Structure 1
């Protein structure tokens, strides 16, 4: 699935089986991927995703982009390029969960893991107070004083850090999100049919 002009039926079938996207959704995603891949390299780089208007205006846009660029075998290791299969795998995280087209990629756990990667700035497998401060600063800019931001980060850490190691693990993060309807909040209706 490198630098080609279209996908074969076998490639579409393989992607469908892994992601749950329909053939028409896969074709539209491929069209979007090719549009973003202006140089026809067969992969995307961070600069390509920064061209997506919704990400360019999102205060966490750069963090969301970074969450796309992870090694499939070790989410703490960054990669420099994303091919079409990785692109669809990541987007599958945001698919609505449907019984007939469910996928291991769009479970509640996978959705939470994606958000965790957005918050884990230094990719050490934990969310620290510094990570929280960075995310809060992205969200509120300069509209809140630094001391208030630090106070919010401190309270958040105190509430979510069950083992009191001053870090939020993935398990603690999942527990902290226990009352949030992650399935609904992290699902997009961006592709129908």
Structure 2
């Protein structure tokens, strides 16, 4: 799997499937590999931030800069693992884990009021004032039993978002 120009072997496919908890079928992994090779324009074996930004849906995402921190330099196996949270077969905990990483920009395992506020700023842009964002966030945290001073851990995110019916899925086209 080192070179993106080579074909995947059955062993490679099974290894990637195992690495992503079997959330993608073998056919989906082959399709993802083809897409990975298209994105890896210089065939160096990983996808750079610029190559990720060549995907219009990714570039238009208001959280693209945060996602780039997580996605820059991924090899194929890591690329599939990153996308596995978007699989229809991924459980809520796997999806929330990715969301937590988006909010935990300093990777310290804790999310603060200001961390959440930054993401809200990215998502709402000029549609909301800082004061409105702070009021909404304070109310949401209070309803969930937290305060502005709370440090949220992954388990807290799972508790808060686990009941939300969160839907984040990407369909992998299979040829």
Q: Does the alignment reach a TM-score above 0.5?
A: yes
Question: Aligned pairs, how many?
Answer: 172
Matches of 1:142 and 1:164 in 2, distance apart?
22
The 5-angstrom pairing of residues 146-185 of structure 1 reads 146-160=130-144, 162=146, 165-182=149-166, 185=167
Matches of 2:18 and 2:80 in 1, distance apart?
12
Matches of 2:56 and 2:110 in 1, distance apart?
30
Residue from 28, 32, 35 that aligns with 1:32: 35
Unaligned runs of 5+ in 1: 70-80, 98-105
Shift of 1:153: 2.7
Matches of 1:146 and 1:89 in 2, distance apart?
35
Which residue does 1:89 correspond to in 2? 81
TM-score, normalised relative to structure 2: 0.86
TM-score, normalised relative to structure 1: 0.79
Unaligned runs of 5+ in 2: none
Task: Tell me the secondary structure at the aligned position of residue 123 of structure 1.
Answer: coil
1:116 and 2:100 correspond: yes
1:15 and 2:16 correspond: yes
**What whole-Å deviation, never above 9, does each CA across 1:91-139 have from its counterpart, x for those lacking one?**
1222112xxxxxxxx3321111001111112222111111111111111
Which residue does 2:122 correspond to in 1? 138
Root-mean-square deviation (CA, aligned residues, Å) is 2.2
Q: Whose relative contact order is higher, 1 or 2, with alpha carbons under 8 Å and at least 6 apart?
A: 2
Matches of 1:164 and 1:140 in 2, distance apart?
20
1:67 and 2:67 correspond: no
Task: Tell me the secondary structure at the aligned position of residue 127 of structure 1.
Answer: coil
8 A contact 1:160–1:168 mirrored in 2: no
